Amino acid sequence: HNHAATKYLREHGGSVFNAALDAVLAGQMHVSVAAPDQQIRDEAAADARRKELLTALREARQIADDYQQQSWQSHDNEDEVVHKLGVLLQLMQHVAAGGADDPLFSLFRDHKTIHSLVDYYMIDSRPGPRKILLQLFGTVAALYPDDTYHVMNVQLPEALAESVLTLAEERDDDEYLIYNLLLLSCLCSSADRALPPKQLSHLSEKVVLSMMDLIEAGGSGDDDGGDGTAAFVATAALGAVLSLNMQFPPQCEQPGGWSEAKDGTNVVLRALQERESSSGLAHRILAMLSRGYDDDTVNFPLCLRFLADLFHHPVLAGFFYRNDMHVLLDITVQQLGDLDEDSEFRPSFLRIVHGVYTNANDFFDADHKRDKMRAAVERHRAWPHHDAAAVVAAIDTDTSLLGGD
């Protein structure tokens, strides 16, 4: 989905990653209906692949068990471990390409195997095995979120947070850093799958600020190329920040009236308050908003939730510079005008507009796209589950109260 990301990992991901990527791409190729003799050969191949996968799963569990028993010893088996885990990852990528229809789908729903590998990850700090395990965990989490998230969430967030802090400071292994950020995003991105409180406590303001430094170091994010590795690290860090924000109550809800969450537990918003501004973050958010859902189906909903929280916060509503606010209004007018009547994003966009005209009116020119914004919102008055009239009222607030110095 990201040419620059694929190019970077092609160059820096090593043979295991490239083999896995080749497997995924091969699995996505169209396969025509087979003749009877071809079906026999396919069935034989599938049976062989199942046996190969079972062998790889057993060997992976054996690696974990052996390492736990020998962890007090000094032994050098990293190459062997990386090879065996790499074989398992390649097979998993084949399953990921086939999806739920793949007959091997159920083999990864073995909690004992995942639990054993998570335990192994926690005691083997060598980067080689951990890089493979991070990719493996990400694949499993994507395939079977409801079955495996709770197994990984018990221990991994703390380890990921520690790794992000260390790797972000040292910047000597960006591939390793990227995998940590991507898995952290995967584990945090759903509000329906809350992290255990103990694990969430390790994702502190310090971790968020560290990720924000990575975002700033990556440039504006106006294009996919950016400045190479730093740009892709910044993209991964932004995904992690937006995902972590989903673990906390929204600043704005509409159960019958507008309200603000006042518990102040959101570490993402607390960290942002420690900075006067973050141009890299702002520009990347605007670029993501402009590209829309079709370009980024994962992060776009998280981006909308983040903006709604930002503009319903008494301090952070002024986070964007004036020119950036005008760009945001331009994009929002366009996006609201393009939304279908049944779009799932209508509530989020209306919350954002309400927050902008209620709390951020000192930070943009009062008449900038006002009429077009009102017209765009008026299209959504028929939506039965949201008071669009409240948004129109916010837009129509006396212009003497709007504008800034």
Report d(CA 385, CA 151) in Å as an integer: 36
Q: Is the pLDDT of residue 263 over 80?
A: no
Rounded Cα gap, residues 156 and 127, in angstroms: 15
Please give the pLDDT value at position 148: 76
How confident is residue 156, by pLDDT bands cut at 50, 70 and 90? very high
Q: Which long-range contacts (CB under 8 A, 24 or more apart) does 95-104 make?
A: 95/53, 95/143, 96/24, 96/27, 96/139, 96/142, 96/143, 97/23, 97/24, 97/26, 97/27, 97/28, 98/27, 103/46, 103/50, 104/46, 104/49, 104/50, 104/53
Tell me the per-residue pLDDT of 328-358, one tens digit each, with 9 for 90 and over: 999 999 998 888 877 889 889 989 999 999 8
Window from 41-50, 54-63, 157-166, 206-215 with minimum mean pLDDT: 41-50
Q: Is the pLDDT of residue 258 over 50?
A: no
pLDDT over threshold 50, residue 218: yes
Which is higher by pLDDT, 23 or 234?
Answer: 234
Helix H or strand E segment including 49 = helix 36-70
Q: What are phi and psi for residue 252, nearest 5 degrees?
A: -135, 125
What is the pLDDT at residue 257? 43
DSSP 3-state of 252: strand
| pLDDT tier, 22 (very low <50, low <70, confident <90, very high otherwise) | low
pLDDT band at 309 (very low <50, low <70, confident <90, very high): very high
pLDDT of residue 256: 36
The two structure tokens encoding residue 183: 């898995």
Q: Do residues 280 and 230 touch, judged by C-beta distance below 8 A?
A: no
Confidence (pLDDT) at 192:
79
Mean pLDDT to the nearest integer, 376-405: 66
In angstroms, the first-to-last Cα distance of the chain is 43
pLDDT surpasses 50 at 360: yes
- Residues above pLDDT 90, as percent of the chain: 34
Assign 224 a pLDDT band (cuts: 50, 70, 90): very low
Mean pLDDT of 140-144: 76
Contact of 138 with 130, CB cutoff 8 Å: no
Instruction: Work out the average pLDDT over 186-203.
Output: 88
Please provide the average confidence, as pLDDT, over all residues in the chain.
79
pLDDT of residue 289: 94
% of the chain surpassing 70 pLDDT: 74
Instruction: Over range 71-91, report the average pLDDT.
Output: 77
pLDDT digits 0-9 by tens, 270-287: 999 998 778 899 999 999
> DSSP of 94-161, one letter per residue?
HHHHHGGGSTTGGGG--HHHHHHHHHHHHH---HHHHHHHHHHHHHHHHH-HHHHHHHHHTTHHHHHH
Instruction: Tell me what the mean pLDDT of segment 53-70 comes to.
Output: 77
More confident residue, 384 or 265: 265
